[in-house]
């Protein structure tokens, strides 16, 4: 997600060279029936899209945080992750694999792209 450049990192800066907002996305798995990579990626992107940060201002050396005034996190684009699973003796890769198909797979390829057809990230396993 970091390499996809979804958020404006400069927009997270509060005081140049000193203070910056640190973002963390925690996801909790309720039911695993496969394709978690794509589902978690989409959930994290949408969580960032819905994130609001308090307005911060300086008064001398004092930092003032206004919880009543908030602004949305600047999300540049909405990449979508598609994961392909490769199973021996099956010619075509599997998309939206079940947990059983994931266990049978010997290789995995995840590609993240945005609406401009830019590849934002890629990961392989196997």
Q: Looking at the domain that runs over 2-125, which CATH code has it been given?
A: 3.30.230.70
Is the model more confident about 3 or about 79?
A: 79
Predicted confidence band at 2 (pLDDT cuts at 50, 70, 90)? low
- Round to whole Å and give the CA distance between 97 and 105: 9
Predicted confidence band at 36 (pLDDT cuts at 50, 70, 90)? very high
- Round to whole Å and give the CA distance between 124 and 110: 6
pTM over 0.75: yes
- E strands within the chain? 13-15, 19-20, 52-59, 62-72, 80-86, 94-95, 107-113, 119-125
Place of tokens 């099956």: 90
- Round to whole Å and give the CA distance between 68 and 33: 41
Predicted confidence band at 105 (pLDDT cuts at 50, 70, 90)? very high
Strand ordering across the sheet containing 94-95: 94-95, 80-86, 107-113, 119-125
Mean pLDDT, rounded, of the chain: 90
- Round to whole Å and give the CA distance between 91 and 39: 25
Q: Which two tokens stand for residue 41?
A: 């990626």
* Domain residue limits, the chain: 2-125
């Amino acid at each position: 997600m970091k390499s996809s450049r979804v958020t404006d990192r400069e927009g997270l800066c509060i005081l140049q060279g000193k203070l910056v907002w640190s973002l963390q996305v925690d996801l909790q798995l309720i039911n695993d029936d496969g394709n978690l990579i794509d589902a978690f990626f989409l959930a994290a992107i949408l969580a960032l899209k819905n994130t609001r940060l308090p307005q911060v201002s300086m008064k001398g050396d004092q930092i003032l945080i206004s919880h009543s005034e908030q602004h949305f996190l600047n999300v540049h684009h909405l990449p979508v992750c598609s994961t392909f699973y490769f199973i021996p003796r099956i010619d075509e890769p599997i998309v939206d694999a079940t947990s059983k198909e994931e266990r049978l797979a010997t290789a995995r390829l995840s590609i993240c792209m945005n609406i401009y057809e830019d590849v934002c990230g890629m990961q392989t396993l196997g």
